[in-house]
A and B are shown apart, each in its own frame.
Chain A
Amino acid sequence: MRTLGWICFFVFVLPLSVHAKEIQTIIDQTPDYGIVKMASGVYDESLILSKPLTLEGVGRVTIRSCRLPAVVITGHHVVLRNIMIQQCRRAESAALVVTGHDHIIEYVQIVAAKRGIQLNQASRTSIAHCLIRGTRQDNGIDLWDSSQNIIKYNTIKQVKDGIYIENSNKNEVKANFIHNSRYGIHVMFSDDLMIKRNLSEHNLAGAMIMGTKRTVIEHNSFRQNNRHVHSQGLLLYNAMKTSVKKNVIAANRVGVYAENAYNVQLIGNYFLRNAIGMQWNISKKNYIADNSFVGNVYDAQAIRCFNNTIIHNYWDTSLKLDQTGRGFSAIPYRADPFFLALTTNVPEYQLFFQAPGMLVLQKLLRSPDDEVMIDHAPRMNALKIEQTHRLSTDPLNVNRMSLVMIVGSISLLIMGRKRG
């Protein structure tokens, strides 16, 4: 049937000055699986795509709508491509509303006053290469009761939550870039999600995973999420059987914060220059291995955590002694809960962070071993991590800066001596 549709191939190229009403009429007249091409121009119209067809912009096509969604997609096999959607400030609904299944939305730019894209009972839909800019009032891409969708290669900025997923299972979120928003990726009560190779930076939190099961979080970069005193790279709350592997978690206030997290696999991640690398609270049966903690002010803290396995991580600040020559230290690393326990009740005590008196107290009031996360065999060297996203302050930058400063200092010295 689909092939038959393609045989009945219709192409409409609309003139620039076409009356808005005609677009909807032409869409309605187009047979199933036909293509409607829109010429460059601005169209003040709210479109409804309710049957399988392709709506494609040729050149710079802008659809503007205020009260209603600019485009509503229902049914199945709708393709929306190369379109720009603009919402005015008094918009009341999402710019693009999608229900149904097997749709493709690609190369769509949205300037949203409210929500960018709303997926509501949508499945097997792909959203790719889209750019969404908001006003921080609502979410960029919002999934409700929508499963098996793929959201990839999108750029989302200045929204509330970049990608918000609730009650939506088996979705894939891949290689998106989300910045300057509240939470980059926010998941609630959704299972079996795949979150891979995303870059989430300069948000309140890189990703918030809450009330989930079997989420896979791999090869992402959560960095510079430090706008807020409570900012985190990744937050796991009530998250079960989560796999967090090979992510770069850099320059956040707290790298990973986990509470009520069970059976989490935290393996091969790179914790770089966070104020606190990871914090664990009321969590058990988790496996934390082969992670590298480099340049964090405080590597790890844990309270009320039991039956966790923590092994073969690299802690750059810990004392190390390799007795066997196998690359693992004989001196265990303890993630002492003292400071976290203290600041949980009275956050103001954070002022005493790393204060000499606090360190003495921590040694005096040593916590029992069964309440402490202990790495019995830390690594001697950090593992190399495949970097999906370049870190903003890589060693090259540091070297370049050092060189500039050395040259500058020498020049000033020479100039000063000449004057003398």
Chain B
Amino acid sequence: MRKIWIFSILMIMLFMMSGCSQKAKPVAIDEKNDKCDTCHMEVGNNSFATELVLKNGKTLKFDDIGCMYAWVNEHKKEKINTMFVRDYKTSAWLEADSATYVYDKNIHTPMAYNVISFQDEKAAKRFIQNNGGTLLTYDQLAHHTWERNKEMMMKMKHKKMKHGKKEMNKHDNHMGN
């Protein structure tokens, strides 16, 4: 009888410990209540949204990958469990270290950091083939400058204008705002 008790307590402890070491999960975006923890804008339930789960279990939400990295750079003492980004095409959540990134000034994101994320490296390369841009790995992203160069954005817009109305509509669709 005593052995059964000890075994049960050990099992419970094991279960609890396994629970503690469970990986963090992304939380659904609630457009009505969520705001970006950096820029304070509403977080849209789209492929630009990102999340960061701290070791203490708190989840922070951002409307742009750049806003998430701005928070990380400002809060270097905070212990981060997992960072989540979304696939540009499907909006599926994925861990930031498993994603492939594309940076280009021509890509419009809600806060103009111009970086998008892909689950599949091939899809990222396909995007670059069609639209231009630079491929970035998760490690390279840590050294990215995160500059928002609005003059460059203006130049790109001028380029876009030359492509006519179709491209204008594309801008509308790409805008996260």
What residues of chain A have their CB less than 8 Å away from a CB belonging to chain B? 72, 92-94, 97, 114-115, 118, 120-121, 138-139, 144-145, 160-161, 164, 166-167, 182, 186, 188-189, 204, 208, 210-211, 228-230, 235, 237, 257, 259
Contacts and interface: CB of A to CB of B under 8 A. Distances in A.
B154 A145 contact: yes
B153 A92 contact: no
B38 to A, nearest CB: 9
Contacts of B150: 167, 189, 211
A114 B169 CA distance: 11
A259 B40 contact: yes
20 contacts: A93-B169, A94-B172, A97-B168, A115-B172, A118-B168, A118-B172, A121-B161, A138-B172, A139-B177, A145-B154, A164-B177, A167-B157, A188-B177, A189-B112, A189-B153, A208-B41, A211-B148, A211-B150, A228-B35, A228-B42
B35 to A, nearest CB: 5
Contacts of B2: none
A167 B32 contact: no
Contacts of B33: 228-230
Contacts of B153: 167, 189
B154 A230 contact: no
B157 to A, nearest CB: 5
B157 A210 contact: no
B42 A204 contact: yes
A160 B148 CA distance: 24
Given A182-B42, A228-B32, A230-B35, A144 B177 contact: no
Interface string B138-157: 00000000001010011001
A351 to B, nearest CB: 16
Interface of B: 32-33, 35, 39-42, 112, 148, 150, 153-154, 157-158, 161, 165, 168-169, 171-172, 177
Given A121-B161, A145-B154, A189-B148, A257 B168 contact: no
A387 B58 CA distance: 44
B171 A144 contact: yes
A167 B154 contact: yes
Contacts of B157: 121, 144-145, 167
B40 A257 contact: yes
Contacts of B158: 121, 145
Nearest to B108: A166
B77 to A, nearest CB: 12
Contacts of A93: 165, 168-169, 172
Q: Which 3 A-B pairs have the closest CB atoms?
A: A230-B35, A189-B150, A145-B157
B169 A237 contact: no
A57 to B, nearest CB: 25
Contacts of B161: 120-121
Contacts of A210: 39, 41
Nearest to A257: B40
B19 to A, nearest CB: 23
B171 to A, nearest CB: 7
Nearest to B32: A228
Nearest to B168: A120
A72 B32 CA distance: 34
Contact of A186 (B35, B40, B177): B177
A387 to B, nearest CB: 29
A257 B35 CA distance: 14
Nearest to B34: A230
Nearest to B175: A166
A138 B173 CA distance: 10
A161 to B, nearest CB: 7
A204 B44 CA distance: 14
A3 B158 CA distance: 33
Contact of B169 (A92, A188, A211): A92
Contacts of A228: 32-33, 35, 42
Nearest to B112: A189
Contacts of A115: 172
A182 B35 CA distance: 13
Nearest to B171: A144
Given A138-B172, A144-B157, A167-B153, 4 more contacts: A118-B172, A144-B171, A211-B148, A230-B33
Contacts of A114: 172
Nearest to A69: B165
Contacts of A94: 172
Nearest to A68: B165
B148 A235 contact: no
A97 B39 CA distance: 30
B5 to A, nearest CB: 38
Nearest to A208: B41
Contacts of A235: 40
A168 B141 CA distance: 30
A97 B40 CA distance: 30
B63 to A, nearest CB: 12
Nearest to A190: B150
Most chain B CB inside 10 Å of its own CB: which residue of A97, A160, A186, A188: A188
